Amino acid sequence: MTTNINGALDRLIRKYGLPPGEIIDAEHSPAIRTHGGEFALLPWRVERRFIELKNLIDNNTLEHVSTLRFASITAGGDLLRQVARELDLATWLAGSPVASLFAACSGRAAANLIVKLESGIRLSIECCNRLPAGRETIDRHKIIARRGVASDRVVDTQVPQSSIYAFTHKGDARHTDTDAELFGLSEPATALVRAAFAVLRDPALGAEWNTAAAASQRLIEAMIQSDATSAVVSLQGKKTT
Amino acid sequence: MKPVKIAMVSLTHGHTRKYYQTLNENRKLDWVASCAEDAAARDVYDLYKTGVPCYLSAEEMLDKHPDIEAVVLASANNRHLEQVRFFSARGIDILSMKIPTFDMEEYDEMIARCDEAGIICQVELELHYNPVVLRLKKLLEEGAVGKILSVQATNITLSPAWAFSWQGNPEASFGKRVPLRPGDPRFRGGALCDHPHVFDMIRWLTGSDFDYLFADVAPNLRPDLEVEDMLLVNGKMKDGTTFLFDPSWSRLEERLKVPGPGWEVFPKRMEVNITVSGEDGVLVSDCFGPNVYHNGAPNDRYTVQYTYFDEWIGLIDEFVDCVRNRTQPRINLKWHRQTIRAMNACYESISLLAPARLA
């Protein structure tokens, strides 16, 4: 995967005249190595669906956000990274750090969190990694406000939709392609390359993402503590974003 | 590669807004000037605060910016011939909107003038650069469904006629005032003229051309328009592929003068869905989905917030490459000619209440 994505990144670097960079540890803790150092990659922040959800908040299409309801169900993978992603996504979308959280976990297979952001917004996160091997991730991100509800899932559906459905003698298949410049890469790989591209275009973003990644790690430690003690863990006074 | 110095003229086409972003952001372009069709178009242009000087005369624009290499003709369909004559005579490359003209004599004159001048003329059919369409094409080339038997496609939108009034004007849109059929108060120049994409796509996906088409118009959703807004088309390609298209303005809209949030009444204001059935299976595709969804401001209606409209990156990549290397784009006037003929055949079929065959 790393060769594939770095090849794609190189093409963008050449096309747009950017400084060199290399994606490392793509499978676990992806980062980009540049002449300026190593920077954590937060690829969800460059996914178009999340950019548009953030636009809906920032442009006041939604007014007075009350609650975020996030869910993510994967086929295997590290539950803690999965929760960290959702926590980072929430604090970035809402523009507010975490004040406190209460977590109930089933080992490293499932986690259910209720989180209070410093802005007062409440957040629920439902994560599980017990989908059968090979199944695509099922996730959902809903923003509930006094004026308007937004979601990356269309009404009356429970699972992600695709751009193309193929029903053929070889069986069923689904395809979603969102980026013609990176055509051929999977959705996760596309987001990873776009994240690296974003850091190369805006070096200040790299430092910002390193800070955010460290904050997410502190939130995961708080989640583990909350689950172990069955207690609300306060983050106030601790820097989380 | 040295950026292409580009200008945009007229500023009355529905895609003009998209070009404000494209010309500003694409580093392969150096947007040096604009020329508005009239003072009203310039007033709207000023709202976007592009910082690019805007003129009311193409001559003045070229006098002030003699280094302009290419232009985007963001104009009403009936302005295209005159503009092609003007810019081809000056050796300036052209990015044309999706309907160069419906008059085939004019069309052939455009081809001749571009050939004589040795200029590039690319037709803006952006679906060729859409990632879902690229996947669809790849699957078909790989034989995912075997021999293609049938294609159904929608190219349905709201009506842009309130914001871009020429699109509801038979002369400006179709080129002249031609009744749809005897006894019908409506004229050619409506939704069909706005939606060439599906006619173009089936040719590209099948590699075949139209044999015959049948088209019919339904009662207008907007009785105050003097052009058609609802129609259906079916027929056969020369390779036997049968098809059915819906190129209607079947999504109602708020009648905004300047498009913006809240324009749509139906949640999804623009849809291109293509279904391809073959001997070995079926592909169903949504070229602009999935997206994100909300019911927030300004109208508190359930609304699709589109997540990708990146077709203009590939489109401009190709245009710049052609300008710099003096090669003709894939989607050029000659390629597009058969699509325009097919659309004319639709109007002929509507008029005759019978299928129209393309020679």
Lowest pLDDT segment from B8-17, B171-180, B265-274: B8-17
Which of A48, A63, A183 is opposite residue B308, by nearest beta carbon? A48
Lowest pLDDT segment from A117-121, B9-13, B146-150, B151-155: B9-13
pLDDT value at residue A2: 62
CB-CB under 8 Å, A179 with B131: yes
CB-CB under 8 Å, A160 with B297: no
**A194 phi/psi in degrees, rounded to 5:** -65, -35
B285 CB within 8 Å of a chain A CB: yes
Cα B71 from Cα B124, distance rounded (Å): 12
Over range A131-151, report the average pLDDT: 96
CB-CB under 8 Å, B293 with A155: yes
**Which residues from A are below 8 Å from B27, CB to CB?**
16-17
Over range B237-245, report the average pLDDT: 97
Q: In what order do the strands lie in the sheet with A21-24?
A: A21-24, A31-34, A37-40
Over range A227-233, report the average pLDDT: 98
Which of A16, A147, A152 is opposite residue B297, by nearest beta carbon? A147
Cα B74 from Cα B77, distance rounded (Å): 9
Q: How confident is the model at residue B220 (pLDDT cuts 50, 70, 90)?
A: very high
A204 CB within 8 Å of a chain B CB: no
**Residue in chain A lying closest to B297 (CA):** A61
pLDDT value at residue A3: 63
User: How open is the CA angle A164-A168-A172, to the nearest 5 degrees?
Assistant: 60
pLDDT value at residue A25: 87
Total residues belonging to chain B: 359
Q: Is the pLDDT of residue B16 over 70?
A: yes
Cα B228 from Cα B221, distance rounded (Å): 9
Instruction: Scan residues 117-176 of A and list those with Cβ closer than 8 Å to B.
Output: 145, 147-155, 160-170, 175-176
Over range A45-51, report the average pLDDT: 97
Provide ipTM, 2 decimals. 0.92
B287 CB within 8 Å of a chain A CB: yes
For residue A221 the two structure tokens come to 């430690």
**B150 phi/psi in degrees, rounded to 5:** -155, 145
Is the bond leading into B298 cis (omega within 30 degrees of zero)?
yes
User: How open is the CA angle B5-B164-B305, to the nearest 5 degrees?
Assistant: 85
For residue B136 the two structure tokens come to 């669809």
- How is B110-133 classified by DSSP, letter by letter? HHHHHHHHT--EEE--GGGG-HHH
User: Does residue A26 sit in helix, strand or coil?
Assistant: coil
- Our CA dihedral for B321, B322, B325, B328, rounded to 10 degrees, sits at 150
Cβ atoms of A241 and A91 closer than 8 Å: yes
Question: Which contiguous run of DSSP H or E holds residue A110?
Answer: strand A110-117
Share of chain B above pLDDT 70, in %: 100
E strand residue ranges, B148-280: 148-157, 210-217, 231-237, 242-246, 270-278
C-alpha to C-alpha distances, B126 to B30, B174, B251, nearest whole angstrom: 21, 21, 21
**Which residues from A are below 8 Å from B313, CB to CB?**
180-181
**Which residues from A are below 8 Å from B261, CB to CB?**
61
Candidates B277, B307, B320: best to mutate against A (most CBs of A within 10 A) is B307
Percent of residues in chain A assigned helix, strand, coil, to nearest 5: 40, 30, 30
- Please state the separation of Cα A213 from the chain's center in Å: 11
Over range B323-348, report the average pLDDT: 97
**Which residues from B are below 8 Å from A14, CB to CB?**
none
**Which residues from B are below 8 Å from A167, CB to CB?**
281-284
**Residue in chain B lying closest to A154 (CA):** B293
The residue to which tokens 């003698």 are assigned = A169
Amino acid identity for residue B133 in this structure: V
Cβ atoms of B355 and B214 closer than 8 Å: yes
Q: Among candidates B124, B153, B132, B154, which has minimal Cα distance to B251? A: B154
Cα B112 from Cα B104, distance rounded (Å): 12
Over range B279-296, report the average pLDDT: 97
Furthest-apart CA pair in chain B: how many Å?
60
Which of B132, B282, B306 is opposite residue A163, by nearest beta carbon? B132
Supply the mean pLDDT for chain B.
96
Q: Is the pLDDT of residue B18 over 90?
A: no
Cα B175 from Cα B99, distance rounded (Å): 11
User: Does residue B79 sit in helix, strand or coil?
Assistant: helix
Cα B335 from Cα A117, distance rounded (Å): 57
Count of A-B CB contacts under 8 Å = 128
For residue B148 the two structure tokens come to 């293609």
B60 CB within 8 Å of a chain A CB: no
Which of B261, B280, B294 is opposite residue A150, by nearest beta carbon? B294
pLDDT value at residue B276: 97
Over range B237-250, report the average pLDDT: 97
Candidates B29, B294, B304: best to mutate against A (most CBs of A within 10 A) is B294
CB-CB under 8 Å, A181 with B144: no
pLDDT value at residue A47: 96
Q: Is the pLDDT of residue A240 over 60?
A: no
Q: How confident is the model at residue A6 (pLDDT cuts 50, 70, 90)?
A: very high
Cβ atoms of A100 and A120 closer than 8 Å: no
CB-CB under 8 Å, B135 with A177: yes
CB atoms within 10 A of CB A108: 12
CB-CB under 8 Å, B294 with A56: yes
pLDDT per position as a tens digit, B129-144 = 999 999 999 999 999 9
C-alpha to C-alpha distances, B268 to A9, B98, B151, B252, B306, nearest whole angstrom: 33, 22, 22, 10, 9
Share of chain A above pLDDT 90, in %: 93
pLDDT value at residue A60: 97
Cα B139 from Cα B338, distance rounded (Å): 25
Model confidence pTM above 0.90: yes
Q: Is the pLDDT of residue A1 over 80?
A: no
- Please state the separation of Cα B349 from the chain's center in Å: 22
The residue to which tokens 């299928």 are assigned = B355
